[in-house]
């Protein structure tokens, strides 16, 4: 088979040069396109750190709570587990019935804890028993009964009835009323107000900085926000347990106050 001598063939030399030039142009074109695509598809937050201004501001809204949440617990001690469960169920049923009479709906009453535990006590041994006892030198742990406990999480929407409800729950058989918190049921509205305030503050601050530096703000290239978890009023007890005597229960007294909702935003501008 005959071979072509490219060194002696001017046409082939020109063709090889053209192919090499075309390959170089093609590679250069793809490199330019890739670089342009990277710049085009960069997302907010993945920006270069040159020629930018970042401003952070916090918006604050104070909201009066419209919902109270309280935990009501009934506890019973009996000799047998069955007796403890049955008697405590009666107490819980009486509490739930009272709550419904006060206008609390079924959807706002939820069992959040239910426990049945054995109860033990250490029984001291007699002198002659201690001398002969190796396993129980300090006394013997003895089963004395069972404890049944049910805790209800109750939402109270009529805040002016908190005192009546918590006090009446104790009269109905509750052994513990506590963990009272006040919250805002639709907190998103308050957060939106706080966010709008924070953004307005951040924009104003960014413009002031730009004017002082004699520069012009470009487009927004970065944004993020964070919010606080409001710390609500929390009462260990809704009543003073030490003042209960002879079946009488003092009227609960609580202060609602306001909840503080905060949203902090950070806005990043390009500098033109």
Contact of 76 with 203, CB cutoff 8 Å: no
Confidence of residue 99 (pLDDT cuts 50, 70, 90): very high
Cα–Cα distance for residue pair 182/155, rounded to 1 Å = 10
Residue 40 has pLDDT above 60, yes or no: no
Closest by CA position to 191, among listed 59, 7, 97, 73: 59
Tell me: pLDDT of 32 over 80.
no
The whole-number pLDDT of residue 10 equals 72
What is the arithmetic mean of pLDDT over 88-93?
Answer: 96
pLDDT at 248 over 60: no
Share of the chain above pLDDT 70, in %: 75
- The rounded distance, in Å, linking the Cα atoms of 258 and 182 is 9
| C-beta pairs of 74-77 under 8 Å, 24+ apart in sequence | 74/149, 74/150, 74/173, 74/174, 74/175, 75/147, 75/148, 75/149, 75/175, 75/176, 76/147, 76/148, 76/149, 77/119, 77/145, 77/146, 77/147
- Is 0.85 surpassed by the pTM of this model? no
Q: How confident is the model at residue 198 (pLDDT cuts 50, 70, 90)?
A: very high
- Given a cut of 80, whether residue 114 has pLDDT beyond it is yes
75 near 176, Cβ under 8 Å? yes
**Token pair recorded at residue 139:** 């006394």
Distance CA 163, CA 250 (A): 9
Residue 59 reports pLDDT greater than 80: yes
Q: Indicate the pLDDT class of residue 252, thresholds 50, 70 and 90.
A: low
Phi, psi of 175, rounded to the nearest 5 degrees = -100, -15
CA-wise closest residue to 98 among 154, 17, 18, 37: 154
B/e letters for 30-56, b = 16+ CB within 10 Å, e = fewer, are eeeeeeeeeeeeeeeeeeeeeeebebb
pLDDT band (50, 70, 90) for residue 31: confident
- Between these two residues, 24 and 115, which has the higher pLDDT value? 115
What number is the average pLDDT over the span 95-118?
95
N- to C-terminal Cα separation, the chain: 67
Q: How high is the pLDDT of residue 26?
A: 78
User: Which pLDDT band holds residue 126 (cuts at 50, 70, 90)?
Assistant: low
**Arithmetic mean of pLDDT, 142-149:** 93
pLDDT of res. 255: 74
């Amino acid at each position: 088979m005959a071979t072509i001598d490219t060194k002696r063939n001017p046409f082939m030399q020109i063709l090889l040069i053209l192919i090499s030039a075309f390959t170089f142009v093609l590679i250069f074109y793809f490199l330019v396109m890739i670089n342009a695509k990277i710049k085009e598809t960069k997302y907010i937050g993945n920006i270069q750190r040159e020629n930018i201004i970042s401003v952070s501001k916090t918006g604050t809204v104070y909201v009066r709570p419209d919902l109270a949440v309280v935990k009501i617990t009934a506890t019973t001690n009996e000799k047998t587990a069955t007796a403890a469960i049955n008697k405590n169920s009666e107490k819980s049923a009486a509490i739930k019935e009272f709550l419904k009479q006060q206008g609390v709906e079924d959807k706002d009453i939820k069992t959040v804890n239910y426990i049945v535990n054995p109860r033990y006590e250490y029984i001291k041994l007699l002198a002659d028993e201690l001398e002969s006892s190796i396993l129980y030198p300090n006394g013997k742990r003895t089963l004395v009964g069972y404890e049944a406990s049910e805790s209800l999480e109750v939402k109270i929407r009529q805040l002016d009835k908190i005192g009546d409800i918590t006090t009446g729950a104790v009269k109905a058989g509750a052994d513990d009323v506590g963990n009272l918190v006040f919250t805002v049921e639709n907190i998103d509205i308050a957060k939106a107000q706080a966010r709008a305030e924070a953004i307005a503050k951040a924009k104003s601050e960014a413009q002031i900085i730009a004017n002082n530096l004699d520069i012009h703000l470009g487009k927004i290239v970065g944004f993020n926000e964070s919010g606080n978890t409001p710390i609500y009023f929390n009462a260990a007890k809704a009543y003073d347990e030490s003042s209960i005597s002879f079946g009488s229960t003092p009227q609960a007294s609580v202060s609602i106050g306001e909840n503080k909702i905060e949203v902090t935003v950070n806005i990043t501008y390009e500098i033109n």
